[in-house]
Structure 1
């Protein structure tokens, strides 16, 4: 089950009321966002309040009578792990029986406070569906440079899904502001969160199907925060192994030929900040030998299971790699490197906007580095069909210009495609 990340309730919009001495509305829904629970015909609506209230979504088909359907859900107490130990309530309501590709209008809350009115389009559960994605990482609340462009494009209906590949704030008040900022995206289109911080999600790893793809979200933090328990690392590895084995069964791979992973910290990168991915012996890629027992890395597993595309963030840059395995380029051919590539394709997109500004690159990258940019921006993707996938990078610094694009073409998927 996929559960969106760490949420809390923002007070900034209530500042004028506080100044006047009028108490804020503790029952007012904040930080509304959508996510896909992985079951066809469903959508999960999540929001927060500071007081405990009912959890209700009223909704209806666009063009029909408003709010002629309603669904109740659950509310859970969340206590901020910071110094303030603030309490807030997280509401979750799962809508079911939605018509594929139909547009719904909804609001959420209770009779003591309702959200604004939003709309969404239910996901098409057909394997021939060609979903359009935007994805990015490290969108900071202090410098969310790409946010305005993403807001507009989302509300124009350009995307079916948005993937947030970490990094989410670990401070509750900062998290409040961040979640409020992205409501203008997340309340209109399904937003998958990948948290880079422990404790923000009830599930640190999960998978789901969309169109011709099986998409896997994983935690790279299990390789770095061993104080939370080494068993997390091994549990995830075993889960990944079973999930990939299931996805590779001939009957499943025939329907969902593309396997795409999303994780926060990359296996490879050419930044000069001495992060894990800048080292040959990357923990994420090769595992750790300083644990008992030694911890396995992910590169061999993903290669054996024929993962097609690996999406990463963390580095505050954009970098596209040639198909790579074992630190070596494995292009399909000299002239068409992404046509029938001989290894997974890696994309790093961590420059949506961050307080620390974009990173610097190593002036002498390894041969697997194909294209690099320090512009703020984000990535678009379309799963066109079972054989063709399109990717492009948008520069916000250059007013939405597409600065990089590739087609990945695969006539075969799975481990046999590498030979």
Structure 2
């Protein structure tokens, strides 16, 4: 059976894989079961993982799993999904919950297709509690064509470098194109990652067709909101996923923006309770469209009145913005895609910089740190920069992806990995964020050791 492990040590084979992805080829090797597009996601229970997969014939959604052998059988739910009301490109989205898992232990599983059982995949459920160090691959804007970063992320996955993936919007370009064939090909491409690591998502503007129908049907995030917004805990981190698209595609109604806002306030309040913040001091919010950027494309993040940041006062009723909530509840990191580039900001609120100390701006900062990581690669290529603004610490117009490691309650690190179409990688940006006192920024005072 084909394996991606150590592909980088076999340069010719790896370069063929890179070329296939750049041209929109499929980088997973299909078996004969008829089960495909297999991917995992977290649930609200650390002992349960959701597995989602597609078939093009009806099947009883089923999986077998275990620690040594896939010997426990469980059934799930199969839902028909078509691209329109005429049944165009009908497929079946199968969802199965793998329950009773041993946290942190290696498990194996396979799923049932129309022609039998799939190949066997491995995964590790999340570890219990908050006293461990989650590692994540983080990126947005990955396309079916020119997905430069994907072969490197596949290789990292088989080296077991990560515990999960955050994909911050824009998938395939676009999943509904070619009557859904683009979505199928893209989901097959990410299977070598997503069948092993929980693949946690948020919607982007390229998912908007049919009120985000491809996104809502193909992914299975927790929270009961059709994957549009939700939160989950992981080690010392509380992650929050939002839809920035509610602010822009208002033709689908504005009520969902208000529902998300009210939910977000409640979620932040719960995460900020003393006992919750003591257990999971880090709060990370991620969505697709940034509040800040310095690209020259005229997107909203280049403007002072960015809708996600300050709201949409031109609508009736006005939709409130989100930046004040980040300050009010002491959100540590805000992670975005949309711009096809990488940009790390200084600690920032309302265009004012709140660096921690003179020699280390990220030691006890006085505002959230914003990261834009949308350079994984797609057919739209990269988004050139305009002039560098004072609030930008580092930026890169090279293809790549980010790595986050939350070491403990006070330290986390960010790396940006540059990837090339010739098969090379390099870490081009590294920073460690230190927060000795997590909580509302308005309660912090500037000291020699930062905002405490």
TM-score norm. by structure 2 comes to 0.84
Please state if 1:294 is matched with 2:318.
yes
Cα distance in 2 for partners of 1:356, 1:83 equals: 31
Alignment of 1:11-410 (within 5 A): 28-61=34-67, 64=68, 66-81=69-84, 85-110=88-113, 112-168=115-171, 169-171=174-176, 172-196=180-204, 197=207, 198-199=212-213, 200-201=215-216, 202-363=226-387, 365-397=388-420, 399-410=424-435
Cα distance in 2 for partners of 1:115, 1:311 equals: 35
The change in CA–CA distance for 1:390 and 1:82 in structure 2 (over 3 A counts) is farther
Q: Is the 8 A contact 1:318 1:373 kept in 2?
A: yes
State the SS of the aligned residue for 2:260. helix
Aligned to 2:436: 411
> Once superposed, which parts of structure 1, at least 4 consecutive aligned residues long, lie more than 3 Å away?
81-84, 416-419
Cα distance in 1 for partners of 2:70, 2:281 equals: 38
The change in CA–CA distance for 1:111 and 1:59 in structure 2 (over 3 A counts) is farther
Deviation at 1:114, TM superposition (A): 2.0
Cα distance in 2 for partners of 1:170, 1:110 equals: 22
Which is worse superposed, 110-119 or 210-219?
110-119
Deviation at 1:111, TM superposition (A): 6.8
What does the per-residue CA deviation read over 1:41-68, in whole Å, with 9 as the maximum and x for residues that have no partner? Answer: 111111000111011111121xx3x222
Cα distance in 1 for partners of 2:135, 2:114 equals: 36
State the SS of the aligned residue for 1:109. strand
Deviation at 1:173, TM superposition (A): 1.3
Deviation at 1:97, TM superposition (A): 1.1
State the SS of the aligned residue for 1:253. helix
What does the per-residue CA deviation read over 1:245-300, in whole Å, with 9 as the maximum and x for residues that have no partner? Answer: 11001111110100001100000000000011011110010001111111100100
Q: Is the 8 A contact 1:323 1:338 kept in 2?
A: yes
State the SS of the aligned residue for 1:182. helix
Cα distance in 2 for partners of 1:82, 1:33 equals: 26
Q: Is the 8 A contact 2:35 2:114 kept in 1?
A: no
Give the alignment's Cα RMSD to 1 decimal.
1.7
Q: Is the 8 A contact 1:55 1:72 kept in 2?
A: yes
Cα distance in 2 for partners of 1:99, 1:401 equals: 35
Deviation at 1:360, TM superposition (A): 0.4
Cα distance in 1 for partners of 2:327, 2:384 equals: 29
- Ranges in structure 1 where 5+ consecutive residues have no aligned partner: 1-11, 14-23
Cα distance in 2 for partners of 1:111, 1:291 equals: 49
- Ranges in structure 2 where 5+ consecutive residues have no aligned partner: 1-24, 217-225, 446-452
State the SS of the aligned residue for 1:126. coil
Cα distance in 2 for partners of 1:186, 1:83 equals: 30
Deviation at 1:366, TM superposition (A): 2.1
Cα distance in 2 for partners of 1:233, 1:34 equals: 27
